[in-house]
Amino acid sequence: MQLASKIALFVTLLFSGINCYAQTETYLLPFNSKVAINPSFAGLNNNNSYHTGNQYFYINGRQTYNLFYGSWDSYSEKLKGGIALSFGQGLISEQNISTSEFGFSYSGFPIKTKNGEILLSVGTNLVLATKQWTVAFLDGVITDRNDPSSLPGKAFLRYSITKPKVGFLWTNNSLQLGLTAAVPYRIDIATDAIEPPESVTPVSLTLYLAKKINKKVKDLYSRPFMFSPELVVFYHEEFIFSRLSLLSNHTDKTWGFFVQNDFTNNIHSLGGTIGYRRNFISVNLNAGMGVPGISDDNAFLCELSLNIIVPPFNYSKIYPWATNKN
Each residue's pLDDT tens digit, 269-296:
999 999 999 989 999 999 999 999 999 9
d(CA 145, CA 218): 75
CB of 238 closer than 8 Å to CB of 26 = no
> For the residues 27-56, what does the mean pLDDT come to?
94
- Which residues 6+ apart lie within 8 Å of 284 measured at CB? 31, 32, 254, 273, 274, 275, 303, 304, 305, 307
How much is the average pLDDT of 215-220? 49
The 8 Å CB, 24+ separation contacts for 271-275 are 271/301, 273/31, 273/245, 273/247
Q: Which one-letter DSSP state was computed for residue 119?
A: E
> How far is Cα of residue 116 from the mean position of the Cα atoms in its chain?
25
- pTM exceeds cut of 0.85: no
Select 38-310's CATH number: 3.30.70.141, 2.40.160.40, 3.40.50.300, 3.30.70.890: 2.40.160.40
Per-residue pLDDT of 137-176, as tens digits, reads 777 777 666 667 777 888 889 999 999 999 999 998 889 9
pLDDT of amino acid 139: 77
- Phi then psi for 217, rounded to 5 degrees? -110, 105
Q: Give the pLDDT of residue 287.
A: 98
**Nearest CA-CA partner of 122 in 170, 74, 181:** 181
For the stretch 133-139, contacts whose Cβ atoms lie closer than 8 Å and that sit 24 or more positions apart, written own/partner, are 133/98, 135/96
Domain ranges in the chain are: 38-310
Residues 197-208, mean pLDDT to the nearest whole number: 78
Average pLDDT over residues 8-14: 38
What is the reported pLDDT for 19? 38
Over residues 42-58, the mean pLDDT reads: 95
List alpha helices for 232-302, DSSP H.
none
* pLDDT tier at 14, thresholds 50, 70, 90: very low
Mean pLDDT of 87-98: 93
pLDDT (0 to 100) of residue 134? 84
d(C-alpha 288, C-alpha 295), whole Å: 13
Q: How far apart are CA 18 and CA 241, in angstroms?
A: 10
Contact 106, 119 (CB under 8 A): no
Between residues 179 and 193, which one has the greater pLDDT? 179
Residue 325 scores a pLDDT above 80: no
Question: Sign of the CA dihedral 114, 116, 122, 127?
Answer: negative
Q: What is the pLDDT of residue 2?
A: 44
d(CA 168, CA 179): 6
pLDDT over threshold 80, residue 201: no
Q: Partners of 103 in the beta sheet?
A: 86, 125
